[in-house]
Each structure stands twice: as C-alpha cells, then as structure tokens.
A = this chain, B = another copy of it.
Amino acid sequence: MALYYHEVFEQSVRFGIKIRKTIFEGESEYQRLEILDSDRFGRMLVLDGLFMTSEKDEFFYHEMLIQPALCTVPKLERVLVIGGGDGGSVREILRHPSVEKVVMVEIDEFVVNSCKKYLPMIGTAWDDPRLDLRFDDGIAYVKESEDEPFDVVIVDGTDPVGPGVVLFDLEFFRGCKRMLRPHGVLAMQSESPIYFEKTFVETQHKLAEIFETVRPYFGPVPIYSGGIWSWTFASDQVDPLELNEARVAAITPDSKVYNGEVHRAAFAQPNYIRKLIAG
C-alpha cells in the first residue's frame, strides 16, 4: 500500500500525492509546516495540511502570478510582495533587469528559513542585492508603511482559511492600492473558481470597488486539484492585454509556461465565469 498524503481540503473532493518520505516538519507560531518528497512532484511545501508548492509544478503558479502584471505595467522598478515565503515569486520578479528593488513582507520567518534550506531550487534569488526581505505583518505594512510606492504589488498568500483570511479583505486591498503608484498593477492569487467560488467572486467585486480595471485570469496548477486556478489583475490605468512585448520576448525563452499567447489566453472568460461575476 503506497502512502498518500491527502490535502486537508473538505470540499467533497480530495487530492492525494504519493509520498516517498517526510524531509522536515515543524511548527511556527502561525502554522504547521511540512517538507515532503514525492514521486510525481519532487519536494513539496505543505502548510497546515494544504499543498502550497512543489519543485516540479511551481512554475505553473509563480510564472502566472508574476509575469502578467510585470509584462504590462508601464514602468517596472519597484515591486512589493506580500507573502511568498517559498521564494518563487521573488525569483520570477528578479528575472527582469529593470527591477531595482523588491520589498518582500512575509509574516513567518520559519517558512522562509525552511524553504531556503529544503527548497533551494524554488527560491533561487534570496541573495539578490535588490531584495529587501522583511519578516513582518503584510496587513499592517500596507496600511502604515511610509515607503515609496510601488509599480506592482503581488499578493502571494495562502488559502482564505486561518491566517490567510485577511488577505481577501477589502481593507487589505485598500492598503495595497495605497502602496501603488498611479500606473501600478496589483496581482494576486484568487483561488479556484470552482472550489472557492464565493471567495473568487467576492474578490472580483471588492477589487472592483477600488480599481478601474479588474480581470481574473486562469490557468492550471497541477497540485491544486480542481482543474483550474485563478489569479486577479487590478489596475487603474493598465489594460491587462496590452503587453510590453520587449519584456515578454526577454523572459519567454527561459519560462516554462509563460509567453505572450499564454498571457492573452489566460484572460479568456468561460461563460460560467462571466455569469458568476455578473451575479
């Protein structure tokens, strides 16, 4: 009997991944962390029983969270990341040479330290001098920070359970907007529109209260079962389909999923999504 780790995800379905062994486990004041080794996905990060990312499939998530915003924003120098403890988002951002500074605000130092040690193939840019890593509460940061605003704000948080709930609040979104330059773009993970339909829809509506343009976009993430994942793009001035072709051309050769065609396709809305959002 093979040993499967089943995600603690009670939506009347469950997804199990065959595990070779547990590499590391521990607990911070915020969450329980496991690093597992699997046949199919290599090493994996699990937080509070939820699959977060894996060595073999992380690019589906990280490229699509980061590149649509970074390949459309008119100026790309300063980027803020809330969360993103595995380091994949920062790595994707720092592929762009125009980026001068990335401020990453992650509440849980234990996640970063564990990922640095056990998932170094995901977070390959921890030593980049452009990175300013702070262990702090992202909610408070966006509300109170006096830092210069950013061209892009990325929200790379967990599911809307436990500590992740506040990352889907209107107040938090207002804080993110406060930290954006007028031409800025917010991009965030916004859950499965199937298994977290309510969160997905409410996120669109909340963002639409404060941004001129709000567009969900879609793609697969193999370890997030359900067949479809969503991210959301929000901006006052930027059209998500107007690509900076030079940036796209520069990063496409070393991307695993992202290219201009995939960018545009991700924004297509199936009829059931249009209806969900229209309400």
Contacts and interface: CB of A to CB of B under 8 A. Distances in A.
What is the count of identical protomers in the complex? 2
> Which of A224, A227, A258, A269 gathers most chain B CB within 10 Å?
A227
Contact of A268 (B39, B194, B262): B262
Contacts of A229: 227
A261 B269 contact: yes
A215 B40 CA distance: 27
A19 B264 CA distance: 38
Given A256-B270, A259-B270, A262-B271, 16 more contacts: A11-B40, A12-B18, A13-B18, A14-B15, A15-B15, A15-B225, A60-B227, A220-B220, A220-B227, A222-B226, A222-B228, A225-B227, A226-B227, A257-B272, A259-B271, A264-B265
A266 interface: yes
Interface residues of A, number: 43
Interface of A: 4, 6, 11-18, 38-40, 60, 194, 218, 220-229, 252, 255-259, 261-262, 264-272
